[in-house]
Amino acid sequence: MCGIVGVIKRKANNVAKDLYFGLLAIQHRGQDASGMLVCGERKCYLKKGNGLVTSLFNEELMFQLPGYMGIGHVRYPTIGLGKEEEAQPFFIKEVGVGLAHNGNLLNYFQLREQLVSKGVKFLSSSDGELLLQLFIVNYGGDPFEAAKKVMEVVRGAFSIVMCIKDKGLMAIRDRFGFKPLVLGEKDGDYMVTSESVALDILQYRLVRDVKPGEAILITPEGEIIARQLYPAIPRYCIFEYVYFARPDSIINGIPVYKARYRLGVNLAKEVEKRGIKPDVVIPVPDTARTAAFAISEYLGVPYKEGLIKNRYIGRTFIMPRDEKRMERVKVKLNPVRYEIEGKKILLVDDSIVRGNTSRAIIQLVRQVNPTAVYFASTAPPLKYPCYYGIDMQTRREFIAKDKSVDEIRKVIGADVLVYQTLDGLVEGVDSGATFCTACFNGDYPIPPREEEIECIERQRLDVGR
C-alpha cells in the first residue's frame, strides 16, 4: 500500500508545493521512501529516495522545482527489496513520461521476464517501473490506447498517476478499483490522489472518485477527458477502512470516520453477546480510536486514553520486517497507570495479523496491574494473503490460519478475545458497496495462480533475510 498524488495547473508554476503538502497528508500510507517529479514546459525535475517526505524535501527546495504538472509518491514496499532505486516516481526522460503507482501486480515476475526478453532494461525491482515500461512499449501517441493495452496484460491492483509530455496528467484505476483514487478541483487546477484528505488541506474540492476501469486525462489547458477502458467490477479494499486510510478521508464515496464508528457499534454488540462488562474502554492508537469511542457509547462504559503514543514512531504494521515492528512497539506505546491499574479494561485494536504486536501490547498493559484484559478486534480473523498491495502476502504469517479464537487468545495473553464478524465488517463499512474481503474469506476477485504465489513468497523470503 502506497500513496500517490498528481497535480496539474493551468496558470501557476508551483505544483511542487502542492505535491509536498499532498504527500505530507498521506505520509501514513508509506514511510519507506518518498519522491516527486515536477514538469515544466522545457524541463522535468525528479527527486526521490528512502525516507519520509520531510527528510527529502523542504520549503527552499520547493522554489527550485518550477513546473505546472507533477506527480508524487510515498512508498510502502510489497514488490521489491526496499532499495533506494525502487523509490517512485519513475521517469523516462527520452519519451517524457513519468509514473507513480499504488497497488501490487500478481504477474509482475512473468511480465518482467517478457519485457527483458524484448530488450527492456530495468533499474529496479519495482512493479511501478514495470508499469511504466509496459506503457512505453505500447505508447504510440494515444495514452488511452496504451493504458488499455496495459490493462489487458496486468493481473493485480493498480491506481496510477502519470505525467505525459505534451498530453497532461493521467490517472488510471484497475477495473476492480482495489486502491482508492480521487479527483479534486480548485479554480481550474486539478489534483488526483489516494485520499481526499490531501485535497482538503490544499482546499481542492472533491469532485469524484476515479471509476474502476477508467482513465482520465487532464490537459495543460484544463480539459478533462475521461474514458471507461473496461467495464467496472468494483471490489474496493475493505482494509482501507479498517486500518490504512485516515479517518478524515472520503474514499469510494464512503467517509472513513463513519465507517469506523459503525464498525465500533457492531463490535460492541459482539462484546455484549459475550457478557463482558469492562470498567473502561481503551483504544490502541491511532486507528482504533473511533471504533473504541463507539463501543464506549454503546456499552455505556468510560472511554479513556490508556495508551499514549510516541508520535515520532511510525506505523508498526507497515514496517517491512517483523523484528522492526517489535522494536517499535516497545518504544511506541506507554500505558497510563492511573487508567489501567485495578480495572477490567477492554483494549480495542483494528486487527490482528501475526499476533506479535497484540501480544506485546497486552504484556505492556499487564505491567501496570489491571484486573482483567479483554481484547477486541474491529476486523474478523485474517487468514489469507493479500496479493493486491497490503504486506500480508505469504501464507505462513497469519496467526488465525491454523488457530482457533481461543488458541489465539492464549497466544496473545488476553483474558477474553472478541472478533468482529465478517457480516458486521461489511455492513459496518457500507452495506451497499462491494468489497474485496479475500484476506478474511479467501474469495479473490483475481484468483492467484500457483506459480504467481510461489514467486511472491520466494521474493518476500528474500526481503526478510
351 and 265 within one domain: yes
Q: Do both 229 and 262 map to the same domain?
A: no
Do 137 and 282 have their domain in common?
Answer: no
Q: Quote the CA–CA distance of 193 and 182 in Å, as a whole number.
A: 6
Which of 2, 39, 163, 455 is flagged as catalytic? 2
- Residue 283 · residue 289 · CB < 8 Å: yes
For residue 174 the three cell numbers come to 484497475
Q: Is 227 part of any domain?
A: yes
Global pTM value: 0.93
Digitized pLDDT (tens) for each residue of the chain, 465 residues in all: 799 999 999 988 889 999 999 999 999 999 999 999 999 988 999 999 999 999 999 877 776 789 999 999 999 865 555 678 899 999 999 999 999 999 999 999 999 999 999 999 999 999 999 999 999 999 999 999 999 999 999 999 999 999 999 999 999 999 999 999 999 999 999 999 999 999 999 999 999 999 999 999 999 999 999 999 999 999 999 999 999 999 999 999 999 999 999 999 999 999 999 999 999 999 999 899 999 999 999 999 999 999 998 876 665 544 445 455 556 666 889 999 999 999 999 999 999 999 999 999 999 999 999 999 999 999 999 999 999 988 776 667 799 999 999 999 999 999 999 999 999 999 999 988 999 999 999 999 999 999 888 887 777 665 543
The 3-state DSSP class for residue 189 equals strand
Q: Is residue 246 part of a domain?
A: no
Which of 448, 282, 454 is closest to 373 using CA atoms? 282
DSSP SS3 for 40: coil
Residue 420 falls inside a structural domain: yes
366 with 281, same domain?
yes
Identify whether residues 84 and 213 lie together within a single domain.
Answer: yes
- Domain containing 118 equals 3-235
Quick one: how far is CA 364 from the chain centroid? 28
Residue 107 and residue 141 share a domain:
yes
Specify if 446 maps to a domain.
no
Q: How far is CA 328 from the centre of its chain?
A: 20
Instruction: Decide if 438 is inside a domain.
Output: no
Q: 200 and 306: one domain?
A: no
Evaluate whether residue 192 is within a structural domain. Answer: yes
Considering the domain architecture, whether residues 222 and 281 belong to the same structural domain is answered as no
Residue 322 in grid coordinates: 517483523
- Grid cell of 95 as nine digits: 519519451
Residue of 169, 161, 168 lying closest to 132 (CA atoms): 161
Give residue 383's identity as a one-letter amino acid code: K
Does 39 participate in catalysis according to the annotation?
Answer: no
Q: Are 234 and 339 in contact (CB under 8 A)?
A: no
**Is residue 358 domain-resident?**
yes
Whether residues 199 and 73 share a domain: the answer is yes
The CATH code of the domain that includes 340 is: 3.40.50.2020
User: How many distinct structural domains can be found in the chain?
Assistant: 2
Answer whether residue 440 is part of any domain.
no
Kindly state whether residues 77 and 143 are assigned to the same domain: yes
Q: 31: domain CATH number? A: 3.60.20.10
Cα dist from 381 to 351, 392, 441, whole Å:
8, 13, 9
Residue 44's contacts (CB-CB under 8 Å, 6 or more residues apart) are 37, 38, 67, 91, 93, 96, 98, 163
260 in the same domain as 229: no
Same structural domain, 18 and 162: yes
Q: What is d(CA 391, CA 389) in angstroms, rounded to the nearest whole number? A: 6
> Amino acid identity of 363?
Q
